[in-house]
Amino acid sequence: MRTECRPAAIAMFLIVAMLNLSGCASTSMLRPFTTDACSLFPDGDAEDASRWSECCVAHDQLYWRGGTATQRRHADVALRDCVLAHTGRQHLADLMFRGVRIGGSPLLPTPFRWGYGWRYGRGYAPLTPDEQRMADEKHAEYSLKRSEAACTPPSE
């Protein structure tokens, strides 16, 4: 009886291993939201060192959460539009847009890829209702910590 089960057990092991390697296995682990503002790019210019950093943080929030290829494109367009609104510089907004289109692919194992809050390998996939709820909760935790930090007077 044991030898009859062996091929099925080996097949199941191989399927689980392939799913883990491909990133299609459970991705329910979502890391807390982090941001470095404009990854590998200045957060502002000589006049204002953080002129467009809030655009990058909003973009990071969408990239951290991940989702479909269409959602990524919308996030990248929103970054371009935000930078243009903050600077009036079309060339700068377009440069940043091209940068995130090239460098933000979920296929790259970078800490700023599309869906970086999830385990590498998730790729483009809509969030399940449970994943959406988890992302909303973790984002709310980040927002609460950020607002508490803003209200805390600096220590002497």
User: Residue ranges per domain, the chain?
Assistant: 2-151
Q: How confident is the model at residue 145 (pLDDT cuts 50, 70, 90)?
A: confident
pTM of the predicted model as reported, rounded to 2 decimal places: 0.77
Closest CA to 51 of 100, 87, 98, 79: 87
pLDDT tens-digit map of 114-137: 999 999 999 999 999 999 999 999
104 by Cβ neighbours in 10 Å (0-12 / 13-18 / 19+) ranks as buried
